[in-house]
Each structure stands twice: as C-alpha cells, then as structure tokens.
Amino acid sequence: MVQRTRRRRGGTGWRRWAWRLVWGLPLLAVLASLLPVLLLRFVDPPTSAFMLGRQFAAWSGGEPDFVLRHRWVDWDALSPQLPIALVAAEDQRFPEHRGFDLAAIDEALAANARGGRMRGASTISQQVAKNLFLWPQRSWLRKAVEAWFTVLIEAFWPKQRILEVYANLAEFGDGLYGAEAAARHFFGKPAAQLTAAESARLAAVLPSPRRYSVRTPGPFVQQRAAWIEQQVRQLGGPAYLAECCGVPGRAAD
C-alpha cells in the first residue's frame, strides 16, 4: 500500500512538472520577444537580423572586400521628404492601420487570384519586424513570427518610432543600410538634405535593392520614382504624416 502511494505521488509530481513546462515555455517565449521590443523603443538598434545575415553570407561566401555600411540618424536628422516618400512607396495607409493593412491584403489576394504579377501587402511595421528580428527566407513559420513581432511593435512603439527605425534599417543597395549611409553614398550629402526627387529614387529601389540601382536608375526605377513623387503630392506631402509622426525638424502635433 505504501509503495503504491509513493508511485502515485511520483506520477503526480511528474505531471505537474510537465504542465509547468507546457505553460512555461510559451510564457518564456513571450517574454523573450517582448523585452527586445520594449528596449528598442528607446535604444537605437546598432544592427539588425538582416544586416547580420548579409555580413555572415559575405564571410562564409568568400567576399573579403565586402563592407557593410550603416549609420544611424535620429528622426530630426532626416529630410521631411524621405519619410513621406517611403510611405507613398510602401504603405500609404501607414498612419491609419495597426500593423496590418487588411484592404491591401484583399487587393493583393484578388490580383494574385487573377493570375497577374504576384504582389505582397506587407506594411512598414511588418517590414521593421522582419528586418530587425527575423531571417529572409519565406515560410509560414517566419510569417507567423513576423506577425507576432508586428503586433508587439504596434502596441509599444509610436508611429514615429516605427518609421524612424524603418528609414534607418531599410536596405538601399547591397550592404548599404539606412537613409544616412545611402544619402552619403549615392548623393554625397546627409539624409537631412535629400530632395523630393532623391527621396523618391531611394524609395523606388526598395522592392529589390540589390537588383535596382539608385545611382544609375533604369526605366523601372525612373518610372517608379516619378510615380512615388506623384503619390506624395496626392497625399499632401510631408504634412500627411504630421498627425501620426510629426515632420522631421518639427515637433509632433
């Protein structure tokens, strides 16, 4: 009788430990993802998962001359023309949505179902989550993790911070990350001095910055840059972002 009682207690203890593990691992995962998001709300990220991945690819792929260029600048050190160009090019409903543009998703699904050119519907918030924390290969797992980080970023960061981080992490050429490094490399000036046309040309290569060139733009980049400038005018220029983000160089409303 005593032995059976001991076995029962031992089994109960094992099951309790198993249940604690089942509930504890997801909690640890949530905390592990929440802490860096909260930290980076206030601390400027010195690098990103995509930068680290590109650097590792250069080391392992025999590219001894590869140099990764990145230089962080704060919101007020950006030209007012750049954030609106990025929004016009990538995510025109950025001030309104909470991380996911459901209308754009519906439009993309409809276009893809018609057999047209495959198009995505990633918002700037999703791209920040992907560039900052994740890996480039597409998979359902990565999309799920991306969605989770997007929810956290939208919950704990203001819109201005999201756009500031995006402008500083976006890839504008092979190994060339952030608006400041791109502006100095392509135009010989800081990001604060970018014109509307230069900002549109930078935004125009974002679909594939290693394929398209800012310095020697082909027909696609020229046409897309002209379209972006037109969209910026239709949106109302930098003032379109004043309510959600403020305008660089001016305090937010």
Please give the pLDDT value at position 86: 98
Say which CATH topology domain 41-245 has: Penicillin binding protein transpeptidase fold (1.10.3810)
Phi, then psi, of 171 in degrees rounded to 5: -90, 125
Instruction: Provide the edge-to-edge strand list for the sheet that holds 69-70.
Output: 69-70, 176-177, 171-173
Q: What's the pLDDT band for 253 if we cut at 50, 70, 90?
A: very low
Listed in sequence order, the residues at least 6 apart from 195 whose beta carbon sits closer than 8 Å to its beta carbon are 79, 81
Is 135 or 72 the better-scoring residue by pLDDT? 72
**Lowest mean pLDDT across 59-63, 93-97, 102-106:** 102-106
Q: How far apart are CA 2 and CA 198, in angstroms?
A: 82
The whole-model pTM stands at 0.85
pLDDT in tens, 127-174: 999 999 997 777 888 899 999 999 999 999 999 999 999 999 999 999
Whole-number percent of the chain with pLDDT over 70: 81
Please give the pLDDT value at position 1: 46
The residue ranges of every structural domain in the chain are 1-40, 41-245
pLDDT of residue 56 exceeding 60: yes
pLDDT of residue 207 exceeding 90: no
Cβ atoms of 58 and 44 closer than 8 Å: no
pLDDT in tens, 8-18: 555 567 767 65
Q: What are the start-end ranges of the E strands in the chain?
A: 69-70, 171-173, 176-177
